Structures are given as structure tokens and as C-alpha cells.
Amino acid sequence: MAADTPKPINTTSSIESSLALNQAEKSEENEFKPAYWKRWYFWLAVFLVLQILFFSFFTYYFK
């Protein structure tokens, strides 16, 4: 079997690709901090719970 050379994720090509990130994306990433996205995920999870509660109500109210 051929030697399996470790290939870390930051290869030269991937670094080059990463550098290709344009300025707009960089500034955008700075603009949207992780806390911004966490708020979206939180409300998505809350919405899922609310839907389950609504469906449960629907199921048992109209049984």
C-alpha cells in the first residue's frame, strides 16, 4: 500500500485559496461576529420548539 503522507488542512493550495478571500468577505466576517450568528441559531431552535408545541396542541385539541 502506498505511504499515506499526512495532509494537514492548510496545504499551500488551500492557503492560496484562503488568501483569495476578497476584501468584502473579510470585512463582512468582521462585521458579523459569532454572537450575531448564535442569535440566529438560538431563534431557529426556539422556532422549532414553538412549532412542536403548536403541532402537539393541534394533535390533542382536534383529536
Q: Cell 488551500, residue?
A: 14
Write down how long the chain is.
Answer: 63
Considering only residues 23, 30, 35, 44, which one is a binding residue for another protein as defined by CB under 8 A?
A: 44
61 touches another protein (CB under 8 A): yes
Residue 55 CA to its chain's centroid (Å): 27
What does the binding site for another protein look like in residue numbers (CB under 8 A)?
A: 1-9, 11, 13-14, 17-18, 20-21, 24-25, 28-29, 32, 37, 40-41, 44-45, 47-48, 51-52, 55-56, 58-59, 61-63
